[in-house]
Amino acid sequence: MSPRIKKLINAKEKYDTELHKFRESLRQHIQFNFFIMHQPSDGFVIVHDEYCHNAPLYKCIDIINTKGVLCYEDYLKECI
Q: 68: phi > 0 → left, psi -120 to 50 → alpha, else beta; which? A: left
DSSP string across 9-61: HHHHHHHHHHHHHHHHHHHTTBSS-EEEEEETTTEEEEEETTT--EEEHHHHH
> Which residue segment(s) compose the domain that 12 sits in?
3-78
Q: What is the pLDDT of residue 75?
A: 97
Q: What is the pLDDT of residue 66?
A: 97
Who's near 67: CB < 8 A, 6+ residues apart? 74
Mind listing the pLDDT tens digit for each residue in 14-67?
999 999 999 999 999 999 999 999 999 989 999 999 888 899 999 999 999 999
Residue 7 has pLDDT above 90, yes or no: yes
Please give the tally of structural domains in the chain: 1
